[in-house]
Structure 1
Amino acid sequence: MAKKDRTSYRRKVRQHQVSGRLKSQLVQAQREIDALTHQRERFARAVEASNLGLWEWDLQSDAIYHSHFEQIFGYQEDEVPHFMGNLQPFVHSEDYPKLRRALVDNLKGYTDQFRCRFRIQHKSGAWRWIEDNGRVVEREPDTGRALRMLGTRRDISDEQERHERLRLAWRVFDVSTEAIFILDHAYRIIFVNAAFTRISGFSKAEVLNRRFLEIYQHVTSDLVEHYRQIGQTLRERGHWEGELEEQRKSGEVYPQWLKVYAVPSTYTNEYHYIGMFSDLTQRRQAEERLTYLANYDSLTGLANRNQFRDRLHVSLNHARIYNQKVALLHVDLDRFKAINNTLGHEVGDALLKETAQRISACVRDADTIARLGGDEFVLVLKNCRHYDAVLSVGQRIIEQLKRPFILLGHELLMSASIGVSLFPDHSRELQVLINQADMARNRAKQLGGDNVQLYSEDMQDGSLERLRLERDLRQALQRSSLQVYYQPKLCLRLNRITQAEALVRWPHPQDGMISPGIFVPLAEETGLIWALGEQVLYESCCQIAAWCAQGLEIKVAVNISAHQLRNDKLVDLVQKILAETQAPPHLLELELTESCLMEDASATRDIMHRLRNLGITLAIDDFGTGYSSLGYLQRFPVDVLKIDRCFLQEITSDEQPGTLTRAIVALGHGLGLHVVGEGVETAAQIAFLRRLHCDFAQGYYISPPVPATEFVQVLQDWQQSRAQALAP
Structure 2
Amino acid sequence: MFIDFLKRYFLLNSDSATEGHEKVFQQSALRILLALTICIFVVSEFHTLYFINETSFLTINAGYLCLLTGLLYFSRKYTQLTAILFLLTLITTSFLLLTLSDEFHAEKYALISLYSLPLITRLLFSFKASLAAMVINIYPFYLMTTDSLSNIQTDLTASFYFQLLTFVTLNIGLPLAVSRIIQTLENNASHMQLLYQKLNDNYALYEEFFENTGTPTLLCDQRGKILKANQLARELLSDSEQNTVSNSTIANWLSPTGAAGRFFWQSNVAECTLKQKANVHIEVRRASLTQHGYYVLHLQNTTQLKAIQQELENTQQTNSRLAHFDLLTLLPNYRHFCSQTNQRINEQNRHLTGAMFIIRISQFKLLNKQYGKDNANKIILNFAKMLQKKLSEHTIIGRLRGVKFSCFVPLSQAYLIQKNLSALIHSVLPSQITVEGSKLNMDYQVGIAYYQTDGKTAEELLEHCEMALEYSSSAERFSYYNRTLENKLIEEHKLGLKLSTAIKNKQVSIWLQPQVRPNGQICSFEALARWQTDGQFIPPTTFIKIAEKLGLLPLLAENLVRELVNTLSSWHKERIYTPIAFNLAGQELMNDAFFALLMTLIADNPWLKDMLELEITETSSVMTHPLIHKRLRSLSQYGYSIAIDDFGTGQASLGQLVDIPANILKIDRRFVSPLPGDQRHVDIVKSTIQLAESLGMTVIAEGIETKEQANLLAALGCQTLQGYYFAKPSPMSDWTAKDNAKAKELRMVY
Whether these two folds match at TM > 0.5 is no
Higher relative contact order (CA 8 A, sep 6+): 1
Q: Larger % of strand: which?
A: 1
**What is the TM-score normalised by the length of structure 1?**
0.38
More helix by share: 2
